[in-house]
Amino acid sequence: MDPSEGIPRCSFVIFLPMHAVLALLVALPLVAQAPATTPFQEQKARALLRDQLPCLGCHELDGEGGRTAPSLSDVGGRRSAAYIRAIIEDPQLVVPGAVMPKTLMPSAIRDLLIRFLARNAAEGAPPMPQSASLYGRSLPPSGLYNRWCAQCHGHNGGGDGPNAKYLPVRPAVHWDAARMGARSDDALYDVIAAGGGPMGKSARMPAFGATLTPPEMRSLVAYIRGLCSCAGPAWSRDGRRR
């Protein structure tokens, strides 16, 4: 007792076992929030999603974009930051068989996109990686087309899939012989593999080169040829390798 204050003073120290201290340190990152984004970074991420990345071909953000995939407007309230990172980096390792192609992008853009989408999300624990999915590997060309292409191009190639009306550019009509006949097989293959942006087409067309095998993409080219009942221009089918 301190007579000058009339208040008892006491002091104590809590000693924790070392394993308990380590457990606390490990747990701290799991409850942390994703790094904050500045208004400029959020504006940049929205511009990338709107104009340069294929995500809004299927996903919706702030009322814009497709409707066949989960909305990105509130994804941070439904998923952890760790889940968002994992599904962007490799969808098939998180949800085997997901109708979401792996999109290759520079690490700086990928990190900005993840921070933007996870800005309201808790960090959480990373999802357990799944075995590489073989789902769809035995599908015939028509099955591949209906799985990967029909959401935008329509099941019959009419450019009228469920996402078509939400896109700024109408998807290509694959039964249009005049248009498809003007494109070589290589051009069709390249846009399937690389996506629309690098080929001067709509950026909402995703790239499938990191998801489908070369034989699968060639089979899609052949299927499109069947839809249009047409071949590529004569100069592209003279039988000589280039």
CA distance 86 to 80: 10
Q: Is residue 242 part of a domain?
A: no
Look at residue 134 in the predicted model and tell me its pLDDT. 56
Domain annotation covers residue 125:
yes
* CATH number, domain containing residue 220: 1.10.760
Residues 105 and 146 in one domain: no
Instruction: Determine the Cα–Cα distance for residues 164 and 19; give it in Å rounded to an integer.
Output: 56
Q: Are 182 and 172 in contact (CB under 8 A)?
A: no
Does residue 175 belong to any structural domain of this protein?
Answer: yes
pLDDT of residue 28: 41
Q: Using the 3D structure, point to which of 106, 133, 160 is the last residue of a domain.
A: 133
Residues 215 and 147 in one domain: yes
Do residue 155 and residue 63 come from a single domain? no
Helical H segments across the chain, by residue range: 18-27, 39-51, 75-78, 81-89, 91-94, 107-117, 141-148, 150-153, 177-181, 185-194, 214-228
Q: Is 171 found in the same domain as 96?
A: no
Same domain, 22 and 94: yes
37-65 residue pLDDT tens: 999 999 999 999 999 999 999 999 999 99
Q: Note whether residue 53 is domain-resident.
A: yes
102 and 157 inside one domain: no
Structural domain count, the chain: 2
Supply the pLDDT for residue 36. Answer: 80
Q: Position of tokens 């293959």?
A: 189
- The confidence score (pLDDT) of residue 20 equals 47
Report the amino acid identity of residue 229. S
Q: What is the pLDDT of residue 16?
A: 46
- Amino acid identity at 174: H
Q: What percent of the chain has pLDDT over 90?
A: 74
| CATH number of the CATH domain containing 31 | 1.10.760.10
Burial 140-165 (b: 16+ CB within 10 A, else e): ebeebbbebbbbbbbeebebbbebbe
The last residue of one of the domains, among 82, 110, 133, is: 133
Q: What is the pLDDT of residue 35?
A: 63
* 121 pLDDT tier (thresholds 50, 70, 90): very high
| pLDDT tens-digit map of 14-36 | 444 554 444 444 444 443 455 68
Distance CA 240, CA 127 (A): 49
Is the pTM for the entire model greater than 0.85?
no
pLDDT at 29: 45
Is 4 domain-assigned?
yes
Q: Are residues 221 and 147 in the same domain?
A: yes
For residue 216, pLDDT over 70 is answered with: yes
Residues 93-115: what's their mean pLDDT? 95
What was the pLDDT predicted at 3?
Answer: 45
Phi (first) and psi of residue 60, to 5 degrees? -105, 140
The DSSP H or E segment spanning 65 is strand 64-65
Domain boundary among 133, 153, 183: 133
Same domain for 105 and 220, yes or no, is: no
pLDDT of residue 199: 95
Judge if 179 and 129 occupy the same domain.
no
Task: Tell me the two tokens of residue 32.
Answer: 């942390």
| Plot region of 2 (φ>0 → left; ψ -120 to 50 → alpha; else → beta) | beta
Structural domain including 53 reads 1-133
The position carrying tokens 């290759």 is: 104
Looking at the structure, do residues 99 and 183 belong to the same domain, yes or no? no
Per-residue pLDDT band for 210 (boundaries 50, 70, 90) equals very high
Mean pLDDT of the chain: 87
Confidence of residue 128 (pLDDT cuts 50, 70, 90): confident
Q: Are 132 and 171 in contact (CB under 8 A)?
A: no
pLDDT at 17: 54
Q: 204 or 139: whose pLDDT is higher?
A: 204
Residue 24 lies in a domain: yes
Question: Do 74 and 157 belong to one domain?
Answer: no
Give residue 152's pLDDT. Answer: 98
Pairing of strands 64-65, 60-61: antiparallel
Q: Any idea how long the chain is?
A: 242
